[in-house]
C-alpha cells in the first residue's frame, strides 16, 4: 500500500522510518518532509491552504493511508476532509482534536466526568482572569487556551508574574491561541507521558516515556517543544498504567462518545504523579515530539497494521511488541531556540555520528547543494538504545560529540531522573 505522512519534524521522520520497515508498504510519501526524511521517502510540497490538491494527490497516487503528524492540521479539520473523500486517515476529527486545541474544552470534560486534574478557571476576558488571581495566589499556571506550539504555558512563581502572563496572552503574545486563558493550580510531582491508540471505543496502551520541556540543564529556563525524552518511564508502574486507563483515558473516550465525537487516533496524556494520586495535565491528539522518536525506536512490531486498524475504527485485534532496551533521544537545537532561532548554518559530521545503536532523526533540516542546513528551532534528534538509561545516554552524547555544528546546542542531562533511580536501585 502507498502511505502519505504529513509533517516535517523529528516525529514525522521517526514515523516514516518505522513505516518504511513494513513489508506492507508500497511507496512512502511525506509532505513536506525534511532533509533526513528525503533519504527514505518521496518528499512532496503542498499548499496546505489548497486541500483539494492534497486530496487529488492522494487519489492519483492511490494513497491507502494518510498519517497526520502535526496538531494544527488535525485542529483545522484535515482528517474530516480526507475521510469525506474516502481516504483512510490516522488522526482525529477537528471536533475530537479539541482535546488539544482547547485546554478549556478538556478541563470541562474532566469536570463533567470526574477525571482527576488540576483545579482551574477558564476566562475569555482579562479582567475576569485577574479577579481569579486575586483569590488564587502564586505559584500558579497560566495557559493560552489554544495551540501555541508547546510554548503557551507559563509557570508564574509570583503574583506579579501571573498578572503579566495573563496580560501577555490576552495582548496577543501567542496569537489566536490566546483568545481565552486557562489558569490552573500548580501541581507538584513528577511528569510522565502516556500514549494509547484509540478507535473511538477501545484504548491500546503504548510504551511510556518521559520528556524534558525546559531548555536548560536541570530543568531550568523557558518551556520548549521538548529537548529530549526516554522510554520506558521508570516511574510508570503497571499499577499506575492501569490507574491511568481506568481514571483518565477510558472516561475520556466515554465522554467523547457520549458527545457524538468519538476519538480515533493516538491520545497522548501528559500526567502529573502527585502525592494525592495521578492527575491529567493536558492532552495532545498526536504523537509527542520527541517522545515519538523513542517509541518508534523501541517498537518491534509492524506499525502499519496498527495505524490502519485505528483508521478503520477497530483495534481489538492489535498486539504490539516492545524492545526491553531503553531508548533515549537528545534534541539538538539551533542557537536562540526557543525564541530567536538562527537558521541557515551547515551541519557536518552526521556520517561519523551514525554509530552502532544510534539513529539520527532529522527535524529542522533541509538539503542545499548536498549539504545539510539547519532550517528550524529543533533540528536533530540523536536517538540511542541501551540496556539502561545511563548506557543509552552515553551512546547519544558520544554520537553528538562527532557532529560538527557550532551553531547548535543541546541539554547535557537528558534522562537524569531515571539515571538517579538506576543508581539507587540495588543490584
The tens digit of pLDDT for each residue in 311-340 reads 999 999 999 999 999 999 999 999 999 988
Element (H, E) at 29: strand 28-32
3-state secondary structure of 255: helix
pLDDT 10s digits, 279-300: 999 999 999 999 999 999 999 9
Q: Are 35 and 60 in contact (CB under 8 A)?
A: no
**Looking up cell 476529527, which residue turns up?**
93
Q: Are 12 and 37 in contact (CB under 8 A)?
A: yes
Average pLDDT over all residues of the chain: 95
* pLDDT score of 427 more than 50: no
Taking residue 36's Cβ as centre, other Cβ atoms within 10 Å add up to 26
**Looking up cell 488535525, which residue turns up?**
74
Q: Are 343 and 333 in contact (CB under 8 A)?
A: no
3-state secondary structure of 188: coil
Q: In what side-by-side order are the strands of the sheet with 203-205?
A: 203-205, 190-199, 264-274, 277-284
- pTM comes to 0.93
pLDDT 10s digits, 246-275: 999 999 999 999 999 999 999 999 999 999
Q: Are 383 and 361 in contact (CB under 8 A)?
A: yes
pLDDT 10s digits, 28-84: 999 999 999 999 999 998 887 888 889 999 999 999 999 999 999 999 999 999 999
| Listed residue (398, 427, 426, 425) closest to 412, CA to CA | 398
- Phi/psi at 165 (5° precision): -65, -45
Q: Which residues 6+ apart lie within 8 Å of 46 measured at CB?
A: 31, 32, 53, 54, 57
pLDDT 10s digits, 103-125: 999 999 999 999 999 999 999 99
| Listed residue (199, 276, 191) closest to 233, CA to CA | 191
Q: Tell whether the torsion through CA atoms of 271, 272, 273 and 274 is positive or negative.
A: negative
Amino acid at each position: 500500500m502507498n502511505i502519505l505522512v504529513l509533517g516535517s519534524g523529528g516525529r514525522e521522520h521517526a514515523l516514516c522510518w518505522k513505516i518504511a520497515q513494513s513489508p506492507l508498504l508500497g511507496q512512502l510519501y511525506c509532505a513536506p518532509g525534511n532533509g533526513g526524511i528525503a533519504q527514505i521517502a518521496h518528499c512532496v510540497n503542498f499548499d496546505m491552504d489548497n486541500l483539494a490538491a492534497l486530496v487529488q494527490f492522494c487519489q492519483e497516487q492511490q494513497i491507502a493511508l494518510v498519517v497526520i503528524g502535526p496538531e494544527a492540521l488535525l485542529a483545522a479539520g484535515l482528517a474530516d476532509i480526507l475521510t469525506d473523500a474516502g481516504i483512510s486517515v490516522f488522526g482525529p476529527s477537528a471536533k475530537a482534536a479539541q482535546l488539544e486545541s482547547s485546554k478549556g474544552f478538556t478541563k470541562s470534560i474532566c469536570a463533567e466526568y470526574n477525571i482527576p486534574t488540576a483545579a482551574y478557571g477558564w476566562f475569555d476576558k482579562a479582567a475576569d482572569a485577574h479577579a481569579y488571581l486575586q483569590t488564587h495566589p502564586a505559584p500558579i499556571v497560566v495557559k493560552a487556551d489554544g495551540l501555541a506550539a508547546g510554548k503557551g504555558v507559563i509557570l508564574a512563581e509570583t503574583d506579579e508574574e501571573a498578572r503579566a502572563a495573563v496580560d501577555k496572552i490576552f495582548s496577543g503574545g501567542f496569537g489566536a491561541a490566546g483568545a481565552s486563558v486557562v489558569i490552573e493550580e500548580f501541581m507538584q510531582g513528577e511528569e510522565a507521558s502516556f500514549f494509547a491508540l484509540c478507535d473511538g471505543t477501545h484504548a491500546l496502551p503504548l510504551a511510556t516515556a518521559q520528556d524534558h520541556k525546559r531548555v536548560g540543564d536541570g530543568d531550568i529556563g523557558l518551556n520548549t517543544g521538548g529537548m529530549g525524552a526516554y522510554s520506558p518511564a521508570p516511574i510508570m508502574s503497571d499499577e499506575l498504567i492501569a490507574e491511568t486507563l481506568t481514571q483518565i483515558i477510558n472516561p475520556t473516550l466515554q465522554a467523547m462518545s457520549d458527545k457524538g465525537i468519538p476519538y480515533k487516533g493516538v491520545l497522548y496524556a501528559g500526567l502529573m504523579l502527585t502525592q494525592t494520586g495521578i492527575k491529567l495535565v493536558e492532552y495532545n491528539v498526536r504523537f509527542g515530539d520527541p517522545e515519538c522518536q523513542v517509541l518508534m525506536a523501541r517498537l518491534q512490531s509492524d506499525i502499519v497494521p496498527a495505524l490502519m486498524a485505528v483508521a478503520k475504527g477497530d483495534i481489538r485485534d492489535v498486539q504490539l511488541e516492545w524492545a526491553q532496551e531503553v531508548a533515549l533521544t537528545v534534541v539538538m537545537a539551533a542557537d536562540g531556540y526557543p525564541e530567536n532561532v538562527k537558521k541557515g548554518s551547515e551541519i557536518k559530521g552526521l556520517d561519523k555520528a551514525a554509530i552502532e545503536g544510534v539513529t539520527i532523526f532529522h527535524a529542522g533540516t533541509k538539503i542545499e547543494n548536498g549539504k545539510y542546513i539547519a532550517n528550524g528551532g529543533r533540528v536533530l534528534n540523536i536517538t540511542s538504545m541501551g540496556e539502561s538509561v545511563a548506557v543509552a545516554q552515553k551512546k547519544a552524547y558520544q554520537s553528538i560529540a562527532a557532529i560538527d555544528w557550532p551553531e547548535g546546542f543541546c541539554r547535557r542531562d537528558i534522562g537524569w531522573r531515571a539515571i538517579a533511580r538506576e543508581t539507587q536501585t540495588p543490584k
